[in-house]
Structure 1
């Protein structure tokens, strides 16, 4: 990355700068070599498994779990997660995707599981041996989690799961899924619980693989009389919605960080293009309109970084909830990254829409980030509600 001065900001400690240098070196050598000699989309599932193994061998997946279970830090360090996602996204959207899902797919286990369940799953996640997944979305309940229809009925020492999940990242290649289902302790969001379900559990099957504009392993899952041990419940019954939101509180900022990585790469590509390309017998960057585009993009990149690392720093500093800060970071960074990449495509002209050119790849990669883990419109509602609550007199509470 051309501009690394952000690492001197007071949000970071020395171990973050060491991590960044190590990761960039790995990306420039191992990851770049893999991408140069393989078409990741020729064998998407195989490439994802290879990338996960590479990330595990390099020790980066250890940042996705706590130290007690093979991780690096005593608790999840969100600034490290953001730095890793930003850097991986700069080089490869697929590598970022595989790292992200190790964190998101095991985050609820980290936060809510018994020690026995943590010992069973988290070391494998840390080593890149077990591929994790997070199964929340349903065909009729994307942003509205309270409308979850999937059921989990208690029978003796087990729960019987019935229903479907869709747009599940790592669907079809994951070793286990964190699944949210209705257990009925209350209405709406108050009646959901979380479970970890092994991929080979009878009654669980992949019914459809979903092909999207930036190829990633996504699938629809069907649960039919799927029997899960009661010990696989994560936390107490009825705590599923809170568990999901607490998980997203940690990882939503990292979505913004991935968008920032895409935007930084697009800006670097566009900047180099303006130096290499001549127009009207002068470098492209001599045109004031082009300078304005670069200036706007540089502003968007820095403003996004400030919001992302503020949210990550607040979480790491012990702030119990960063819902507002994480929503701001995710909303702004993903929306502005879309603009930065669009400007870069425009600067490239016709070459910007040619498959194989990096900015064309980035144009496809960025779009999903404005939808998953809470669409941009949902983030605006989250921010507004947090703002309204914070502006009430002490002791009062607004609608949540």
Structure 2
């Protein structure tokens, strides 16, 4: 069953997401045209108490389960991505402190966030982009604490936030131990010691506060240091394992919204005397798009649970999730754009330009917290251990079992996060056994015979991917395209593992055979296996479901259908 908080948020937002409400399409479109911050919508989320879910329960917040957080942000994102980005940034701003801060520091920030304070994460600089170890903003010891000098740029909520978690160079030589994190309270800085940098105009999320901040002799107290001096880069990399996973909620929300628009359009549009939804090609597009959402949601759900259960493996899982889900979501939105035709590009005429806006807004998600290429590069670094673990069988079976939904998650322990997973990826290692159980389901009549053939193909493909990783040649300076191709294929092996494991756990989660078949058909197709008409029937049957219940169609997994639909 869905979390009660998600149900409450959905009901709360229904009061303001139509007509003249602050979340209404007209209001969102007007803010987008004017490139104006969605202040009223963010205040509504404050009134609901969403910010309390950004803070770990250990420090007085309501964050017990990262799946719940994903579904809450998804519920906002399916209304408007800009609002989700603007409000959800506070989770990113607090996460490093929850990972490495002192108990007093974390509890103090948690109390401020619950009271309405906005937090931001200041990592990047104008001349260095994602090369964080090239950062020039410095923090030098001085009387009373640390002196900050320099700029951070392209920071979400840099101007509107009160708190910033700032990565600063604390050793002139730089390097992995040359940077530290500081929790900066702008309200406590001396006048004139900092200034905002102007908002930058962007293609999507036009109303978000994408700006920067400059420090000129800003002195912060010793207790502003997050963790030990010199551990900033390590804390950032560990924290990204959380934020990369959670930010895929934006992609799920975008797909929810896009599918609803496309489904209602297909039902309401007539062509040559027939409803558009009656055309086989249209039904196929909708079915494939629904399968894209199924795969994206399965991967995100398992990854968010893994934060609690497979914590030492999150360096792999987060990279896979962040590379795969936004990419798959954008490909799916492109398919829906084909169905909508010119209406997908109209910024005013059709539904206040809702689809055009969500499409523009979503394109930035693949860049947040490390681009697709960055995440695949991190996965490539794991190739040797992934290949060894595949052959040696070092999977944590108990942790995989605990990862599947249906029981309360284990408390999150940030101390178990690792920069590299020495155990590989347990979920994928157990894929062959899971596929054997799937074949048994076919023999017992739970699935059609075609599922057994898909299991055979997945077994061979997964073995080939791991063999390729084992023999992949690369140097520090030369990572060939073949390595990135293998990384993309491994992501799909992870997706298949998530789908099969979730179906095997269907006694508790009610994930059905159609959901599994449609998802695996899409995964195999992206791995190079053509979709024949036998398999394509899964897409067509999925389209039937979408068209039969258009209000609730975007919620793909049965565990979430009880939410009562999407607006």
Question: What is the TM-score normalised by the length of structure 1?
Answer: 0.88
Corresponding residue for residue 355 of structure 2: 359
Q: Distance in 2 between matches of 1:31 and 1:173?
A: 24
Corresponding residue for residue 184 of structure 2: 197
Kept in 2, the 8 Å contact 1:262–1:362? The answer is yes
Corresponding residue for residue 384 of structure 1: 380
User: How far off is 1:359 after superposition?
Assistant: 0.8
1:303 aligns with 2:291: no
1:18 aligns with 2:7: no
1:114 aligns with 2:102: yes
- Bigger Rg over Cα: 2
Instruction: Choose between structure 1 and 2: higher strand proportion.
Output: 1
1:342 pairs with 334, 340, 343, which one?
334
Q: Evaluate the alpha carbon distance shift between residue 43 and residue 350 of structure 1 in structure 2; reply closer, same or farther with a 3 A threshold.
A: closer
Q: Distance in 1 between matches of 2:360 and 2:328?
A: 15
Corresponding residue for residue 10 of structure 1: none
Deviations 1:317-370 (A, max 9, x none): 252341211121122111121122222222222222111221111111111101
Deviations 1:276-317 (A, max 9, x none): 111122111233332232222112111111111111111122
1:66 aligns with 2:56: yes
Kept in 2, the 8 Å contact 1:136–1:165? The answer is yes
Corresponding residue for residue 28 of structure 1: 14
Kept in 2, the 8 Å contact 1:209–1:220? The answer is yes
Q: Which deviates further from its counterpart, 317-326 or 305-314? A: 317-326
User: How far off is 1:219 after superposition?
Assistant: 0.5
Kept in 1, the 8 Å contact 2:51–2:90? The answer is yes
1:131 aligns with 2:123: no
Which blocks of at least 5 consecutive residues in structure 2 are unaligned? Answer: 393-421, 425-473, 477-567
Matched residue SS, 2:215: strand
User: How far off is 1:94 after superposition?
Assistant: 2.6
Corresponding residue for residue 8 of structure 1: none
Kept in 1, the 8 Å contact 2:86–2:209? The answer is no
1:242 aligns with 2:234: yes
Kept in 2, the 8 Å contact 1:256–1:331? The answer is no
1:172 aligns with 2:159: yes
User: How far off is 1:392 after superposition?
Assistant: 4.0
1:153 aligns with 2:140: yes
Corresponding residue for residue 317 of structure 2: 325
Q: Which deviates further from its counterpart, 60-69 or 170-179? A: 60-69
Matched residue SS, 1:153: strand
Equivalent positions of 1:215-254 (< 5 A) are 215=206, 216-254=208-246
User: How far off is 1:236 after superposition?
Assistant: 0.3
Matched residue SS, 1:290: helix
Q: Distance in 2 between matches of 1:273 and 1:87?
A: 22
1:81 aligns with 2:69: yes
User: How far off is 1:134 after superposition?
Assistant: 0.5
Q: Evaluate the alpha carbon distance shift between residue 396 and residue 346 of structure 1 in structure 2; reply closer, same or farther with a 3 A threshold.
A: closer
Deviations 1:256-286 (A, max 9, x none): 1211110121012111111111112211123
Corresponding residue for residue 373 of structure 1: 369
Q: Distance in 2 between matches of 1:96 and 1:327?
A: 22
Kept in 2, the 8 Å contact 1:149–1:182? The answer is yes
Which blocks of at least 5 consecutive residues in structure 1 are unaligned? Answer: 1-13
Q: Distance in 2 between matches of 1:85 and 1:156?
A: 42
Corresponding residue for residue 56 of structure 1: 46
Kept in 2, the 8 Å contact 1:145–1:189? The answer is no
Q: Distance in 2 between matches of 1:293 and 1:252?
A: 29
Kept in 1, the 8 Å contact 2:170–2:178? The answer is yes
1:274 aligns with 2:266: yes
User: How far off is 1:17 after superposition?
Assistant: 2.9
Q: Distance in 1 between matches of 2:319 and 2:41?
A: 29
Kept in 2, the 8 Å contact 1:270–1:344? The answer is yes
Kept in 1, the 8 Å contact 2:9–2:75? The answer is yes
Q: Which deviates further from its counterpart, 369-378 or 329-338? A: 329-338
Deviations 1:106-140 (A, max 9, x none): 1112222223323432112123x101110001112
